[in-house]
Structure 1
Amino acid sequence: MIFTKLTLNNFKSYGHEVIKFGDGITVIVGENGAGKSTILEAISFVLFKQHTAKKIDDLVRNGSDENMYVDLEFVSNGKEYKIHREKTKSGLKSTLLKKTTSKGQFIPSCAGDKEVANEIQSILDIDSDLFLNAIYIRQGEIAELVDKTSSEKKQLIGKLLGLDSLEKAWKNLQPIISNYEKTQSELKGKLFSSEELKEEYDHKKALLGSLKEKGLDLEKQIEEVKEMKAEKQNEKTNMEREKEIFDNFNNNLDAEKKRLESLENDKRTLQDNLDEIKKAEEQIARLEKFVKKLPLYLDFEKSVTSIQQLELDKQKIEKDLDSIATQEELLVTKKDGYNKFLAADEQIEKLNNQKINLEKELATLTQLEKDKKQLLKSIEGNRNEIERFFSVTKDNLYDNGLSQDILTDVDNFTQLEEVTDNFSEEVSNKVKDLSLEIISKNEEIVKFKQAIETAQKPLDELGDVENKCPVCQSDINPQKKNELIDSYNNEIKINEKSIEENKENIRLLNKNKDSFEEKYNRLQELSKDIIGYKNKFDNLEKDLVRLNEIDDGLESKEYTNTKLGELILDISKEKVGREENKEDYDAYIKSKGALDVLSSKTELQYKLNQVNNEVDVHVKNIKLAIDQDPHLSGDMSTADLQARITDLKNKEEEFN
């Protein structure tokens, strides 16, 4: 597995960082707390979701509102892969992507914690424990390994490689192995008693043969019993069939007896009915002559009633015809006034629409005047604020060290933004240069400390030896020994002095760096303010354009006022003319409404003719009825006619 690219976004101390790994060995160098271990932890997190934090939320950069994510691109067995792990509000999102060709795009291969973990383990052929123990050594463990004794080194390497867990597993297996060996011994012991088991088997086999013979005898007896049972079952079936036939004969005999009794009762009933029929026939013959007269009387009554109703209808039709003639005459006399009223009303509506449009236009112009006042006030305030900011910003840039010659030529926001960005970049480069110089001084301190350790070790050994050089093991005399001791002490003092000088330089460099960082931060804030005021300046120019548009629109206000006054006078004149014709209009509408309610003149005349014809038909029917029955006459009262009809209906009911 070869790493090619690592991307960190809001991971611990990193905002957004992209690290590309070149060919060969990559060395990460930096001060304590610079973020070297964070890079390794990010690799461990993205590969196996392993980290040193208590929870994933602790990996998110403080004060960040964006999602935290880590991307790792690597090559394994000639294939390119990419792992993406992202912390969102809903949880952790994991995705493994793969390139199908060397110049192609990464395509999602699988998603989800479990699926991605299984796929990575399959690709790398290692799990998280092996990675952490055998490949990834945490901060401080190498230094700890160097200072240990041989036995301690063995123990620490075993811990790093996970050998201690294997030893623990071996100890846990010891009781299982002992139990297995014990069980194996017991089984071997049981094999010695196989002869006794064989004798017991033969005895039980002979007993089984005897039981089988007894079983065969019992099966024969069972078959005989089954045959006897079948014979008895057939006899039972035959007896049940004969009993059923006997029961049927008895039931049929009882039914015939009941049927004969029923026929005798029916005979007596029919004779009684026959006697009643003879009496009814005699009564029908007596009532029939009265029943035949009932339709004649009903027709006579219907014709009399119809003539009375038709006379009422005739009177109503004649009244409606008179009303129609009156309303038609009114329509003719009032039509001219009606038309004049409509024309005036239409003209008023047209003028009112024009008046409404002018009033709306005037209201718009009035609002424009208000907008103009507010816009003037806003323009004045924004212009003063922008000019004040522009001046103050140039002063701030000068106070922070920007040349007055450069600031003299700046007269707009674009130039101001450009010089501020350039100045900010210069300060940023200065901070980077100071950081590199501090790193260089720290590296020199490390070298001086190593030189001190290199001199201190033989110096300590010189105190323990008599006449041997601790470095080359050659013979030395006391004078030479003292010279060596002075030389080593002098070298240590020189290096210690150099360390102190470098520390003082680092302190001054850090102080200078802090000053430039503060200046850079101030310039960054100033750049943001410049962008904001640049937008305000653009809005100010738009407001000036809007002000010109408002002035153009307000030029038509006087004309609109004059036109509106003329329209109001015209509407007043039209209303006077309309009122003069209001009475004719109302009378015309009333007459037209009355004609709409009344039927048409032709239809009423047709109905009148129909009524006269129906009266003639009913008169003929009355004359025919009087000719057929001498008891009927045109002078017969309604009460006598009703009494006669009621008597005939009673006789008809009796007849029916």
Structure 2
Amino acid sequence: MILCKLCLENFKRYVKFEIDFEEGLVGIIGKNGSGKSTIFEAILFALYGEFKDRGYKEIVRNANASTKDVVVVELLFEFDSIEYRVVREFRGKALTANAKLYKNGELITSGAKEVTASIIKLTKMNKEAFLHTLFASQKELTSLSNSKPEDRKRMIRKLLGLEKIDYIEKELIEKSRELKREISAFAEVLLSKEEKELKKEQIKQNLEAKKELNKASVIQGKELDSIKLKEIDIKKELEVFNKTKEQKQKLFGELELLKNSINSSLQNQSKLSKELEDLDNKQKEYKALEPIKQQYEELQQKLKEQTQLKEYHLKKEGLLKEQESLREQYKKIKKDLAQLEKECEGYEELSNKLKQINTYINQSKSTYQEIQTKEKEVNSKLFAEQRVINDTTAKIENIQALGRESSCPTCTRPLLEEYDNVINSLNGIIKHIQDEKITKLKLELKIVEESRKEWENSIQTQEKEQIELSNKNTLMLSKQKDLQELSIHLQTIEQKGKINNDELAKLEQYKYDENIHKALENSFNTLQPKYETLKSLETMLKRYINVKQELENTVKQVVSLNENYDKKEIDYKQIDYNEKNHQNKQKEFDEHIIKKDEKTAQLNKLNVDIATLEGEIKTVQASLDNDDKQLAKVQTKKDDLIDYDKIKISLSEFKTKLNSKVAPRISDIASSMYAQITKGKYQHIEVSNDFDFFIYDEGKKYPIERFSGGEIDLANLVLRIAISKTLNELSGSSQIGFLAFDEVFGSQDEARRMEILEAFHTIKEQYRQIFLISHEMEIKEMFERVVEL
């Protein structure tokens, strides 16, 4: 596997970044925080969708990117001479993941989990194996020799993936213990041989008892069936009695209902006859009052006409009064308008004057601010010069206090004969500042202060005038508004007066006489009670025809009901029903039911006893069946325990065989490289089965701690590379062609760095790409190729 190109977008510290990976020994150089390690985090992330030891959603997006910006990691690599491209994207606030894998430009897999699975299948390495095989840091290198034996052994076992076998062994031991506990627990609940025999005997006895009860149940069932057949015959006879009785009762009810209907119809006939007689009398009374109707309607129409004339009259009087009021308003508004027009004269002149004084005040304030700034500058200069005088005075006092043997405050040499000259020089400085600078600055400050006061007074005077003009302007604006409103109101009054005149002209044609109106009202009020009586009679007489028709119908109904009653009475008398015979048959039926219930209860008791025996048989049999099942489960767990023991033995043999291969292989690879790097000075590095390291010097074996720091660093380096190659071989990933080392130079001096670089140059033929990450800027000249961040 060879890395070709990495492209990042909004990934961690990179907004936009691309890097082409060269072959050979490549240095990736940059200061701390420049994003060196992020490049290899991105490679791991592109391949497996995860970081080294934490999740990604909280840190993957660039801090300056918004939730709308897409996070993209794209890696181009070559594997077995085939070009692959993997792209991972994260979108939205929730960072929804998506991934795609291309082979020679053609999409072959999509989906985050699917792409990760394809990468693992291709490289034959998961994330942990990839990290342990191809990446190493200075901390990991030094810990190979500096760690305690147990810690070193644990670290190398983790790199080799052996700790997973330890975990499986531990799990197997725990599972075996758990199975033994469960087998012991089962032994306590299983039935003994004696208990089984007793339960089988109990089942046999219950079956015999059940057989006897079944025989008795059959006899009782036959007797009950005989009783039920006789019950059916009696029941049929009872049904005939019941039907006859129901028929006779039904006819009796119908006769009673007809009798009530006849009585009700006769009462209604009497009532309708009386009502028809009353209506005949009312009809005579109505004919006597009928002439009043025409007279009443004529009076009603005349009253409506008088009411309309009265409305016109009242409206005319209202309009005349309103016209009088409008004339008064018109005169007053005309007078007020003349007064307001006179008061609003000179508004334009006042407005222009106010604008001028506003402009002048703004200009004056600007000049005043400039004078204030000038005053602050002069005060600042005075303060600075006074501070120089104070500092110089303090120096003089200090020198005088120390005497002629003191040092010069400027050059720090002893004063001696220069004492008086220094004192005089310092006094001269004070006098020069006092005479030449402070005097001039005070004079300048006085002029500036006077100018500031003059402008202050001028602005105050102008602001007073501005307030007066503003008040006058506001008052005049208010009067102009009143003038406009009065003009509109005058127009409204004129329009209203014109409309009223037109209305009055129309109303002149109508004349109203109040006396005529009152005379008509008196006549109407006198006639109205008679008219209301007439209307009441008219309403009553509308029922005359209906009542007459209803009376005729009622007479016919009474005749029909009487005929129907006679027929029903004949049918009722013809029904043959004997109440005493019915009661005797009912008594016989009730006694038979009691006998049947007694026989049913006896049969039910037999069935309950049979069911009880069956329940006991099932319970005992279930106990025996359950014991058989538990025995089967115990046997299964015993079989599992045997299998676990076999697996533990196999794993132990596998670990022994793996250790016997791994340690010698690491030793062979490391020895070959170390001899090449040290130019044959050291021929062999031994790795024990417990992963202790020894170096052979002139044929003798010594612990790695015996040698110098540079020799140990080189030994750690070749051991780490040997472990990587061994892991590569174990995983079957022979196509991995690069290594990456992070900060392997540490705080070593230049000679040590040269030795390490020389070691990498020695082994670079074995790998097409070796990447060294470092923050040491001065070593970048030592590399064939450099990527500077």
- Band of TM-score, shorter chain: 0.3 to 0.5
TM-score for the superposition, normalised by structure 1: 0.41
TM-score for the superposition, normalised by structure 2: 0.36
